C-alpha cells in the first residue's frame, strides 16, 4: 500500500467575497486585509507540518494565500509552489463581476437551481469536475512514481516524520499508522501535499471524492457541511491509499473538512 496526505485550503477573503460578487476566473481580485490575516493564521496553524509538495491555483488570491501560509512555515518555507490552472475557480462567464443575487436571478429566469445553472460563457459542473479529476489523477501518478523511485531509500523514516507533523494538529486517529502498534499493516506516508484553491472548485472536487471514489467520512461530519462551500482558509485533510495494483482507484479517508480552528481569534495577530 502507498499512502499520502492531501491538505486542501481555500484562499483568504477578498473584498468581493465580502460583498458577494462573483469572481470566477475573470476577476483576479487580491486578498483583503482580512484575507492576508487569515492566510497568516492558517500558516501559523500549519507551521510545523512537513509538506513535500505544494500546488496552487494561478489566480492572485490563491497565490497570495499560499505565500502567506509558507511564509509562516518552520519546515518548508523554501518549498517550490507549482501553479496549476486546473485548480482555478469555476468559470462563471457573463456572471463574473456581478452580484451573487444576479446569478441567482439568472438561474431562476432559466428555471434552474443556482448551483446547477451555467451562465453563458461559464463552465458546467461536469467540466469543473473533470478539471478536478484530471488534477487528482496526475497528482496520484506523480506520487506513485516518486514512491517507486524512492522505495529503496526511504525505509519509513521520512514518512514517520510526515505523519507525526500532521498528527500534532489533526485528528488522524485510525487513519494514522500507529507507531505503538508493530503489527499494523499500514505503512507511513510517502508524501504530504498542500493544495490552495477555491470554494466552488473544492466543493466539486470533494463531491468527486465522495460520490465516485466513495471517500469515508469522520462521524463528526454532518451532511450540511458536505453541501456547503468552504469558508475562506478553511482546511480539509484527506488520506489517500493505493493498494499494490496501480490500476485500481485509491481509497480516500476524510480526516476533517473546512477546519477553522486557526480563525478563532487568530486573525487579529501577526
- For residue 89, say whether it is annotated as part of any ligand binding site: yes
The one catalytic residue in 29, 67, 89, 102 is: 89
pLDDT at 76: 93
Q: Are 50 and 192 in contact (CB under 8 A)?
A: yes
pLDDT at 247: 61
CB atoms < 10 A from the CB of 54, how many? 21
Cα 96-97-103 angle, rounded to 5 deg: 60
**79-83, 96-100, 178-182, 196-200: segment of lowest average pLDDT:** 178-182
pLDDT at 182: 38
Whether 153 has a pLDDT exceeding 60, the answer reads no
Cα 236-240-244 angle, rounded to 5 deg: 180
- For residue 53, say whether it is annotated as part of any ligand binding site: no
Distance CA 41, CA 267 (A): 6
198 tagged catalytic: no
- 106: Cβ–Cβ under 8 A, 6 or more apart, which residues? 95, 117, 119
89 tagged catalytic: yes
pLDDT at 266: 45
- For residue 14, say whether it is annotated as part of any ligand binding site: yes
pLDDT at 158: 53
The one catalytic residue in 11, 53, 198, 262 is: 11
- Mean pLDDT, all residues of the chain: 89
pLDDT at 221: 86
Output the CA torsion sign for 100, 210, 60, 17.
positive
pLDDT at 143: 95
Distance CA 36, CA 209 (A): 29
- For residue 92, say whether it is annotated as part of any ligand binding site: yes
Q: Are 64 and 94 in contact (CB under 8 A)?
A: no
- Mean pLDDT, range 63-81, rounded to an integer: 96
Q: Please report, rounded to a whole number, the percentage of residues in the chain having pLDDT higher than 90.
A: 77
Q: In which residue are the cell numbers 507533523 written?
A: 165
Q: What is the band of 227 on the pLDDT scale with cuts at 50, 70, 90?
A: confident
Q: Are 89 and 16 in contact (CB under 8 A)?
A: no
Q: Which residue has the higher pLDDT, 180 or 116?
A: 116
Distance CA 194, CA 213 (A): 20
- For residue 137, say whether it is annotated as part of any ligand binding site: no
**83-92, 102-111, 217-226: segment of lowest average pLDDT:** 217-226
Highest mean pLDDT among 79-93, 137-151, 153-167, 224-238: 79-93
Going by CATH, does the domain composed of 2-92+124-268 fall within 3.40.50.1240? Answer: yes
Q: Are 65 and 81 in contact (CB under 8 A)?
A: no
- Mean pLDDT, range 103-126, rounded to an integer: 95
Q: What's the Cα-to-Cα distance from 261 to each of 17, 173, 235, rounded to whole Å? A: 20, 18, 9
Distance CA 220, CA 206 (A): 17
**Each residue's pLDDT tens digit, 249-261:** 899 999 999 999 9
**Each residue's pLDDT tens digit, 5-49:** 999 999 999 999 999 999 999 999 999 999 999 999 999 999 999
Distance CA 136, CA 159 (A): 21
Whether 175 has a pLDDT exceeding 80, the answer reads no
- For residue 43, say whether it is annotated as part of any ligand binding site: no
- Mean pLDDT, range 130-138, rounded to an integer: 98
**Domain locations in the chain as residue ranges:** 2-92+124-268
Quick one: which H or E segment has residue 158? Answer: helix 157-167
Long-range contacts of 247-253 (CB under 8 A, 24+ apart): 249/212, 249/213, 250/140, 250/213, 251/213, 251/214, 251/216, 252/209, 252/213, 252/214, 252/215, 252/216, 253/175, 253/215, 253/216
Whether 225 has a pLDDT exceeding 60, the answer reads yes
pLDDT at 248: 75
Cell of 87: 485548480
Can you tell me whether residue 28 is helix, strand or coil? coil
The secondary structure of residue 194, as a DSSP letter, is E
pLDDT at 197: 98
Q: What is the band of 212 on the pLDDT scale with cuts at 50, 70, 90?
A: very high
**Each residue's pLDDT tens digit, 74-96:** 999 899 999 999 999 999 999 99
Amino acid at each position: 500500500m502507498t499512502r499520502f496526505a492531501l491538505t486542501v485550503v481555500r484562499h483568504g477573503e477578498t473584498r468581493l467575497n465580502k460583498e458577494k460578487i462573483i469572481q470566477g476566473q475573470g476577476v483576479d481580485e487580491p486578498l483583503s486585509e482580512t484575507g492576508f490575516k487569515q492566510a497568516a493564521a492558517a500558516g501559523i496553524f500549519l507551521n510545523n507540518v512537513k509538506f513535500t509538495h505544494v500546488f496552487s491555483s494561478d489566480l492572485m488570491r490563491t497565490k497570495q494565500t499560499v505565500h502567506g501560509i509558507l511564509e509562516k512555515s518552520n519546515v518548508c518555507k523554501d518549498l517550490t509552489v507549482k501553479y496549476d490552472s486546473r485548480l482555478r475557480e469555476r468559470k462563471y462567464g457573463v456572471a463574473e463581476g456581478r452580484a451573487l443575487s444576479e446569478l441567482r436571478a439568472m438561474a431562476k429566469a432559466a428555471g434552474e437551481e443556482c448551483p446547477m445553472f451555467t451562465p453563458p460563457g461559464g463552465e458546467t459542473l461536469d467540466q469543473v469536475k473533470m478539471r478536478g479529476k484530471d488534477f487528482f489523477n496526475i497528482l496520484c501518478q506523480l506520487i506513485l512514481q516518486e514512491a517507486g523511485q524512492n522505495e529503496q531509500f526511504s525505509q519509513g523514516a521520512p514518512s514517520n516524520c510526515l505523519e507525526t507533523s500532521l498528527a500534532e494538529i489533526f485528528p488522524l486517529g485510525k487513519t494514522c499508522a500507529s507507531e505503538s502498534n508493530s503489527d499494523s499493516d499500514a505503512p507511513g506516508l510517502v508524501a504530504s501535499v498542500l493544495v490552495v484553491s477555491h470554494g466552488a472548485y473544492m466543493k466539486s472536487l470533494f463531491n468527486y471524492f465522495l460520490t465516485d471514489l466513495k471517500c469515508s467520512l469522520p462521524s463528526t461530519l454532518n451532511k450540511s457541511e458536505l453541501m456547503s462551500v468552504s469558508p475562506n482558509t478553511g482546511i480539509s485533510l484527506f488520506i489517500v491509499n493505493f493498494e499494490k495494483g496501480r490500476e485500481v482507484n485509491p481509497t480516500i479517508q476524510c480526516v476533517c473538512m473546512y477546519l477553522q480552528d486557526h480563525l478563532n481569534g487568530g486573525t487579529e495577530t501577526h
